[in-house]
């Protein structure tokens, strides 16, 4: 019985969880336990022996119960500590990431550019993306056989309308409904059959139009200089190059010094040091005639620029398609033009 007691004590001390402890209790002290089994054999002994063994059995039983109890307390404490350790929250850990939306780089560029012109007194005009050929071409002095009308450039709808190929028809719509003085910008989507790293079949333009008495090319240069310097910085180089548009005369294209090499010549500017940034000119008298504005009394200038191109040059994005993939990790990097 003594060795049984020692065996039970050793087991109790080694027990690692409450279930094991209970199993030991049942095995030794339970109704069919080892201790009871020995006590059942007491009948064969003398009364003295029986008394002595009975006392011993009680003593061992008490000792074991005490030991079981203290071991139970220890294990419960351990289990609690383990649980607390597992459930511990480290409030210094960074929280899981919450994605906060931001304007698309094309839209923030569009808004930034618009704000510059609004600050100079221009207001915002709009026109439809599904447009009449008349407004997109005819009234802008673009003859029927002009290459810009080529089926390859223009998306035609079955009813003969087109998707506007530039924002210039908004010039026509504005001048048909409003009399000078006019100072508007017209931002919006335009469409051309074109797709490569620098061309997308849908892109955004901003049109500008200013009509009043005595408007000169000098006004155009001044306004565009203010605009380009606020987008690209005071040190940006600006040059006007003679060009041709059917709806302006004279016409010019404007270049800025390369945003990558600063004018030294690199891959982006193809070694020229210059980047073409917009088209502009003085409103052609034929356009004024088409909208019933007297070209002898009024003059005006117009300009048009591609928003994606400005965003690409400002942020040095080399593939226009990145602007339309809507990868949030890409979009998040650009926080506006100003």
Q: Which is nearer to ligand PHE, 28 or 298 (CB)?
A: 298
Q: Using the rule CB under 6 A, give the single segment among 54-62, 117-125, 195-203, 276-284 that binds ligand PHE.
A: 276-284
- Does residue 290 belong to the site contacting ligand PHE (CB under 6 A)? no
Q: Which of 29, 21, 113, 38 is nearest to 74 (CA)?
A: 21
SS3 of residue 206 by DSSP = strand
Map the footprint of ligand PHE across residues 26-55, applying CB under 6 A: none
Q: Do the beta carbons of residue 278 and residue 224 sit within 8 Å?
A: yes
Write the binding mask 168 to 207 for ligand PHE: x where contact by CB under 6 A, - elsewhere.
x--------------------------------------x
- Work out how close the CB of 232 gets to ligand PHE at its nearest, in angstroms, rounded to a whole number: 19
Which two structure tokens, joined as six digits, stand for 11? 């087991």
Residue nearest to ligand PHE (CB): 304
| Burial class, 1, CB count within 10 angstroms (exposed 0-12 / middle 13-18 / buried 19+) | middle
> In sequence order, what are the beta bridge partners of 45?
none
Map the footprint of ligand PHE across residues 206-245, applying CB under 6 A: 207, 245
- Work out how close the CB of 289 gets to ligand PHE at its nearest, in angstroms, rounded to a whole number: 17
Q: Out of 137, 298, 303, 334, point to the residue binding ligand PHE (CB under 6 A).
A: 303
CA pair distance 187, 173, nearest whole angstrom: 14
Q: Using the rule CB under 6 A, give the single segment among 83-91, 125-133, 224-232, 297-305 that binds ligand PHE.
A: 297-305
- Does residue 309 belong to the site contacting ligand PHE (CB under 6 A)? no
Q: Do the beta carbons of residue 111 and residue 338 sit within 8 Å?
A: no
> Left (φ > 0), alpha (ψ -120 to 50) or beta: where does 173 sit?
alpha
Indicate if the alpha-carbon torsion angle 47, 52, 53, 58 is positive or negative.
Answer: positive
Q: Do the beta carbons of residue 227 and residue 256 sit within 8 Å?
A: no
Q: Which is nearer to ligand PHE, 5 or 255 (CB)?
A: 255
- Does residue 280 belong to the site contacting ligand PHE (CB under 6 A)? yes
Tell me which residues touch ligand PHE (CB under 6 A).
166, 168, 207, 245, 248, 279-281, 302-304
């Amino acid at each position: 019985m003594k060795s049984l007691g020692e065996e039970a004590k050793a087991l109790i001390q080694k027990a690692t969880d409450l279930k094991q402890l209970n199993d030991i209790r049942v095995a030794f002290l339970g109704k069919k336990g080892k201790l009871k089994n020995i006590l059942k054999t007491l009948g064969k002994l003398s009364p003295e022996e029986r008394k002595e063994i009975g006392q011993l059995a009680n003593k061992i039983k008490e000792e074991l119960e005490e030991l079981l109890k203290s071991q139970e307390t220890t294990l419960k404490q351990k289990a609690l500590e383990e649980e607390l350790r597992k459930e511990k929250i480290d409030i210094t850990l960074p929280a899981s990431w919450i994605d906060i939306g931001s304007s698309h780089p094309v839209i923030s560029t569009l808004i930034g550019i618009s704000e510059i012109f609004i600050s100079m007194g221009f207001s915002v005009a709009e026109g439809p993306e599904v447009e009449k050929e008349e407004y997109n071409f005819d009234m802008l002095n673009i003859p029927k056989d002009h290459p810009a009308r080529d089926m390859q450039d223009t998306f035609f709808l079955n009813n003969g309308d087109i998707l506007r190929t530039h924002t210039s028809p908004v010039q026509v719509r504005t001048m048909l409904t409003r009399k000078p003085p006019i100072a508007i910008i017209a931002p919006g989507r335009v469409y051309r059959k074109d797709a490569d790293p620098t061309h997308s079949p849908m892109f955004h333009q901003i049109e500008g139009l200013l009509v009043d008495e005595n408007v000169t090319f000098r006004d155009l240069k001044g306004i565009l200089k203010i605009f380009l310097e606020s987008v690209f910085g005071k040190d940006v180089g600006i040059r006007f190059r003679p060009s041709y548009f059917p709806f302006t005369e004279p016409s010019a294209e404007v270049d800025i010094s390369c945003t990558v090499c600063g004018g030294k010549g690199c891959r982006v500017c193809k070694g020229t040091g210059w980047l073409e940034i917009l088209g502009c000119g003085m409103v052609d008298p034929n356009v004024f005639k088409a909208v019933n504005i007297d070209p002898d009394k009024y003059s005006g200038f117009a300009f048009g620029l591609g928003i994606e191109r400005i965003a690409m040059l400002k942020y040095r994005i080399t593939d226009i398609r990145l602007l339309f993939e809507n990868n949030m990790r890409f979009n998040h990097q650009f926080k506006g033009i100003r």
